[in-house]
Amino acid sequence: MKNTFGNYLSVTLFGESHGAAIGAIIDGLCPGLKINEDNIRRMMHLRQPGGAISTARQEKDSYEIVSGVVDGVTTGTPLTILIRNQDTKSGDYSAMKALMRPGHADYPAQCKYHGYQDTRGGGHFSGRITAGLVAAGAICHSALEAKGIYIGTHIAKCAGIADRNFEDLKCDIDALSESIFPTLDGDSGERMQAEILKAKSEGDSVGGVLETAVVGLPTGVGEPWFDTFESILSHILFSVPAVKGVEFGDGFALADMRGSVANDPMCYEDGKVITKTNHGGGIGGGITNGMPVIFRCVVKPTPSIAIEQETVNVQSKTNAVLGVKGRHDPAIVHRARIVIDAVTAIAVYDMLAGRFGTDYFAKGE
């Protein structure tokens, strides 16, 4: 029963969707790291629901740092972030305790935890738990930016509608940092939101694809074989609820290319080795090559929908039909993007600490 990620920096999640509180414990942060409260609040805000395209559950996500920080800087001991749940309606789930929701973790959890799991709102499997993940990631995110490393994610596709590609990466990342619905093209974003509302009106939901850019990474981060940059990052990306696929660079499209196209030609520019294209997504042999790291995540449609679906009742051991009641998102792709930014920051911090030492982020280093 493990809920911890990381080697040199570890993050442990705790809590349930309708429990008293959720949160995260971060171990391995270097001492003397300044906590940027504004960045934590900004990233937490971008995860919150907003308007008709999101759930009606309204959590303030007020957080408390209860250990590991004195006078606004880290002490080097475990940092604990506590976020109290306030807007819970557990009664919405009482009638569904024995009914396994299609697309959810209900049945696997029933088997793994022998029926003792918290079923309210999905319990520990709920997307609600990502609030602690975002708070933890925000601390790592600020540490990375102090080193000139920037992360940004946009909705590349939603409901069959595509956004434009990244162009000027740093400018695009800056624009995305304040965007509630993170697209690079405003018209595409409006059409996506219209499709989300249409699905909601029909009792259904939609998914999407998120594309992330990481710029400013040094060359040589990652290990061959089992701890490649891709494998460590994929590990934490797949921990995000609803992520069902990850690809780096041109990903699956590489299968239709010839080597003469897929290879990234190299050259010197101002005394630095660069590649003229970036089909490999900034990674070679599992190790960063100094180019921007580009990857995409598939986010499946929200499984909680009002349309009736076939399921089973594990108490009566009979077949059943379920239309999910309560407050649910018709799409989570726009809220998931800041979770992707957060987990990316955690994984990158961990790998940099492994490459350069745990004091790499210390002031003056």
- Maximum alpha-carbon separation in the chain: 71
Domains of the chain and any CATH numbers:
4-356 (3.60.150.10)
Tokens of 158: 């939603």
Tally Cβ neighbours within 10 Å of residue 365.
Answer: 11
Alpha-carbon distance of 220 to 230, in angstroms, equals 13
CB proximity list for 148: less than 8 A, separation 6 or greater:
216
Alpha-carbon distance of 26 to 152, in angstroms, equals 22
Sole residue written with tokens 């929200």: 302
pLDDT in tens, the chain (365 residues): 699 999 999 999 999 989 999 999 999 999 999 999 999 999 999 998 877 787 665 667 899 999 999 999 999 999 999 999 986 665 656 667 899 999 999 999 999 999 999 988 888 999 899 999 999 999 999 999 999 999 999 999 999 999 999 999 999 999 999 999 999 999 999 999 999 999 999 999 999 999 999 999 999 999 999 999 999 999 999 999 999 999 999 999 999 999 999 999 999 999 999 999 999 999 999 999 999 999 999 999 999 899 999 999 999 999 999 988 766 789 999 999 999 999 999 999 999 999 999 999 986 44
Determine the distance from the C-alpha atom of residue 356 to the mean position of all C-alpha atoms in its chain, rounded to a whole number.
25
Alpha-carbon distance of 160 to 156, in angstroms, equals 10
Residue 283 is predicted with a pLDDT of: 98
